[in-house]
Amino acid sequence: MIEIRDLTKAYGERRAVDGLSFRVAAGRVTGFLGPNGAGKSTTLRTVLGLDRPTAGEALIDGLPYQRLAEPLRRVGALLDAQAVHGGRTAAGHLRWIAASHRLPARRIDEVLALVGLTDAADRRIRTFSLGMRQRLGIAAALLGDPAALLLDEPVNGLDAEGIRWIRTLLRRLADEGRAVLVSSHLMAEMAQTADHLVVIGRGRLLADTSTAAFLTEHGRRRTRVRAVDPAALAALLAETHPAAAPLGDGGYDVPDADPGELGALAASRRVALVELSVTHDSLEEAFMRMTADTVEYRTVTA
């Protein structure tokens, strides 16, 4: 289990991580989300002993990374898939890591098979696509068969098949009882992959909750409505639901409306409907609403 306790990391005056506490529980995929500059990478680097906390601590099975006897057997990590020696072969790269931890050589073939790189084992890494490098990085993270995994943007560079593959892999790793923490800015992907979300902004915890609860709490319910006579519907909504937005097909998206009340209202005004359905915000929309105030670099529309 990974535990972050009151973690603060300051660079000069600036706090990249500011009093952050959360746990990454075993047996589930935890999505680690936050706008650019929120402090995700700094947090992961601190867990892995690559950054020293200014205050607080990051523990793996109760110990800081530096005090783990065989860290690769406790925690596997993928931080930057590009940070590998291009002149090495895939198997050579893994052999080098395995040797540093006295891991058995057969484990190299196992992890290469697990990530679908068996046929590329003897190819030089410089010839690898970004997607293949991501797979190799995941293979390296799994070498020590660790109980916890930290993956920074693991789907970066993967195609649709690769993204599906990693989703299935993360699920399986969690089902095997591992603690899996995965950062990503691909919200649709996170919504499908993560059971639990930890959301940070400006180095602080904004949410630590199940994906379903996050969507219920921060996502809005919307009602989609379309009428036989679009002009009549437009007039009605202008009067009763000014926040309604036209969808371009004659229909309207009405935030926070009760579909029953809207249907009854349309009937009472003799506006015949052809569509009345409920949708919910996507994780991306819910996330944008929640983090709107904490975005460090915002695109300003003139």
Ligand X SMILES: Nc1ncnc2c1ncn2[C@@H]1O[C@H](COP(=O)(O)OP(=O)(O)OP(=O)(O)O)[C@@H](O)[C@H]1O
Strands (E), the chain: 2-11, 14-24, 28-33, 55-60, 75-78, 148-152, 179-183, 196-201, 204-210, 221-227, 245-246, 252-255, 273-280
Tell me the β-bridge partners of 225.
252, 276
The one-letter amino acid code at 290 reads M
Question: Shortest Cβ distance from residue 38 to ligand X (Å)?
Answer: 4
Q: In the set 20, 24, 41, 251, which binds ligand X (CB under 6 A)?
A: 41
Q: In the set 2, 7, 16, 276, which binds ligand X (CB under 6 A)?
A: 16
Instruction: List the end-to-end C-alpha distance of the chain, in Å, as a whole number.
Output: 47
Binding of ligand X at residue 36 (CB under 6 A)?
yes
What CA–CA distances, in Å, run from 242 to 116, 218, 255, 285? 53, 21, 10, 20
Q: How far apart are CA 142 and CA 155, in angstroms?
A: 16
Question: Shortest Cβ distance from residue 180 to ligand X (Å)?
Answer: 18
Q: In the set 6, 11, 63, 113, which binds ligand X (CB under 6 A)?
A: 11
Query: Would you say 117 or 153 has its CB closer to ligand X?
Result: 153
Query: Would you say 182 or 236 has its CB closer to ligand X?
Result: 182
Contact (CB, 8 A) for 20 and 7? yes
With contacts defined by CB under 6 A, how many residues of the chain interact with ligand X? 10
Encode 251-261: b = buried (16+ Cβ within 10 Å), e = exposed. bbebeebebee
Q: Footprint of ligand X on residues 74-93 (CB under 6 A)? A: none
Tell which residue, 208, 220, 215, 163, has the closest CA to residue 186: 163
Query: Would you say 89 or 294 has its CB closer to ligand X?
Result: 294
Query: Would you say 80 or 161 has its CB closer to ligand X?
Result: 80
Question: Shortest Cβ distance from residue 57 to ligand X (Å)?
Answer: 17
Tell me the β-bridge partners of 22.
4
Q: In the set 18, 28, 29, 39, which binds ligand X (CB under 6 A)?
A: 39
Binding of ligand X at residue 42 (CB under 6 A)?
yes
Query: Would you say 268 or 299 has its CB closer to ligand X?
Result: 299
Binding of ligand X at residue 40 (CB under 6 A)?
yes
Q: In the set 31, 34, 137, 162, which binds ligand X (CB under 6 A)?
A: 34
Contact (CB, 8 A) for 43 and 5? no
Query: Would you say 71 or 203 has its CB closer to ligand X?
Result: 203
Tell me the β-bridge partners of 81.
none
Pick the stretch among 18-26, 30-38, 141-149, 260-268 that binds ligand X (CB under 6 A). 30-38
Binding of ligand X at residue 154 (CB under 6 A)?
no
Q: What are phi and psi of 38, to 5 degrees?
A: -70, -25
Question: Shortest Cβ distance from residue 42 to ligand X (Å)?
Answer: 3
Pick the stretch among 33-41, 160-168, 174-182, 221-229 that binds ligand X (CB under 6 A). 33-41
Contact (CB, 8 A) for 222 and 289? no
Question: Shortest Cβ distance from residue 164 to ligand X (Å)?
Answer: 23
Residues that bind ligand X (CB under 6 A): 11, 16, 34, 36-42
